[in-house]
A = this chain, B = another copy of it.
Amino acid sequence: MTIRLDEGAGEQMHALVERLYPLCRSITGDGVRATLDIVGEYIPLRVHEVPTGTQVLDWTVPQEWNIRDAYVADSAGNRVIDFAASSLHVLGYSVPVSRTMPLAELRDHLHTLPDQPALVPYRTSYYKPAWGFCLAQETLDALPDGEYEVCVDSTLADGHLTYAEHVVPGQVPDEVIVSCHVCHPSLANDNLAGIAVATFLARALAETTPYYTYRFIFAPGTVGAITWLARNKERVDQIKHGLVLACAGDSGQLTYKQSRRGDAEIDRVLQHVLKASERPHRVTEFTPYGYDERQYCSPGFNLGVGSLSRTPYAEYPEYHTSGDNPDFVFPAAMADTLAVCREAFAVLDRNRRYLNLSPYGEPQLGRRGLYDALGGRSDTKEAQLAMLWVLNLSDGEHSLLDVAERSGLPFDTVAAAADALRGAGLIKA
């Protein structure tokens, strides 16, 4: 693991993960609201409540689920499975139940991971009414036959789906979206680390005056992103780039998953920054599964939205189990993810196509104080090279990132050269 910058932010992000961890989030309900309340302590949020039954694209906002308690108790009254110990223990969207039944009957409602016997799985049943418990195989194996009291004290009723936005205003209304899902219960990497990185990224951007307007979306997975898209169809043309953040805190190397387009500017920027920074990393092609890039990159929208993770979706054994807890994510890893986001947005924000206003032959840089006056020396300077490259490629077709990649010069050097040339009136955006 290569870690850069922002070590202090890393500790703060880990503390945020730990605060959010115990809450029982789902695609609706008070767990999401409590999560957004805490995030709202770090950055101002605009919270949206969308009523049950609202048609959102091909979907309908479901009933709201809230849960107060859930347990399985043995005949002595001991809670052998207890929601209070971990929100994972209850099947997400479990309908209420209060019964006594023999273990043999109860087994149909119990979910374990036989291959990972010490871990509790994460399971949900959003769209098919059901109740159930998740537990370690080891725990199940230790349960004696007999009668058990089963209680799920939940409510599944009309209510709202909740999501939130935070906007960092830019110089232009064109937007970059950063999206992360807030629907997973006690799972740290997936996606409390993503939420934490997004939160601190928003704080960092707010300290600058970015070119683009940056919109952060905290929404439940799938139906939440679909709801946001349904309510922002008018805005979609304004969204120029985007990034989904997920699994942002484990100790694995960074993975950038391309947008559906594959060659969107966000794709090129992330790949450039990861490569230029010499971090070990991986770039993968778009697939229509994973996180909410699925929705942003559905063919009707086809947005330039990629996804940044450390170890991706479903590729680590702790994925969707109780093993994905705060010990599984690291301050330094989150700091590194944050640093890459900041570096990438610094490039994206300055990446522009310019037009050389003096395209016939080279303009005389020396006259304008832009060129070393003493000729004939065999050492050419990087800054001067960058100016020549920007002038040569500023034909309206090539961006500064194109210039950086073709010249092999650092993007910062190229952007500085463009600034100097624009200052001298030699190029225009």
Once A124-B375, A125-B375, A373-B125 are accepted as A-B contacts, the answer to whether A359 and B299 lie under 8 Å apart by CB is yes
Dominant secondary structure of chain A at its interface with chain B: loop
Is the beta-carbon distance between A123 and B294 smaller than 8 angstroms? no
Shortest Cβ gap from A248 to chain B (Å):
18
Is the beta-carbon distance between A288 and B392 smaller than 8 angstroms? yes
A361 surroundings in chain B (CB, below 8 A):
57-59, 225-226, 229-230, 295, 298, 300-301
Give the segment of A66-74, A137-145, A212-220, A362-370 that binds chain B. A362-370
Instruction: Write the chain B residue with the least CB distance to A57.
Output: B361
Cβ-based interface call for A133 (8 A): no
State in angstroms the CA–CA spacing of A163 and B333 once bound together. Answer: 63
Shortest Cβ gap from A406 to chain B (Å):
8
State in angstroms the CA–CA spacing of A361 and B393 once bound together. Answer: 38
State in angstroms the CA–CA spacing of A389 and B287 once bound together. Answer: 8
Is the beta-carbon distance between A392 and B260 smaller than 8 angstroms? yes
Interface membership of chain A positions 378-394, coded 1 if the CB is closer than 8 angstroms to chain B and 0 otherwise: 10100001001101111
Q: Which of B58, B121, B299, B366 contacts A376 (CB 8 A)?
A: B121
Once A364-B59, A393-B299 are accepted as A-B contacts, the answer to whether A125 and B358 lie under 8 Å apart by CB is no
Near B by CB (< 8 A), chain A positions 142-167 give none
Is the beta-carbon distance between B289 and A388 smaller than 8 angstroms? yes
Near B by CB (< 8 A), chain A positions 220-268 give 222, 225-226, 229-230, 233, 260
Once A320-B376, A362-B298, A376-B124 are accepted as A-B contacts, the answer to whether A385 and B289 lie under 8 Å apart by CB is yes
Interface membership of chain A positions 277-297, coded 1 if the CB is closer than 8 angstroms to chain B and 0 otherwise: 000000001011100001101
Instruction: Write the chain B residue with the least CB distance to A426.
Output: B58
A364 surroundings in chain B (CB, below 8 A):
58-59, 127
Is the beta-carbon distance between A373 and B123 smaller than 8 angstroms? no
Cβ-based interface call for A186 (8 A): no
Cβ-based interface call for A126 (8 A): yes
A356 surroundings in chain B (CB, below 8 A):
299-300
State in angstroms the CA–CA spacing of A126 and B395 once bound together. Answer: 29
Interface membership of chain A positions 331-374, coded 1 if the CB is closer than 8 angstroms to chain B and 0 otherwise: 00000000000000000000000001011111110110000011
Is the beta-carbon distance between B376 and A122 smaller than 8 angstroms? yes
Once A294-B388, A392-B260 are accepted as A-B contacts, the answer to whether A374 and B125 lie under 8 Å apart by CB is yes
Is the beta-carbon distance between B392 and A360 smaller than 8 angstroms? no
A-B contact pairs, 12 of them (CB 8 A): A58-B362, A123-B377, A229-B360, A288-B362, A294-B388, A295-B361, A299-B391, A300-B356, A300-B359, A300-B361, A302-B395, A320-B378
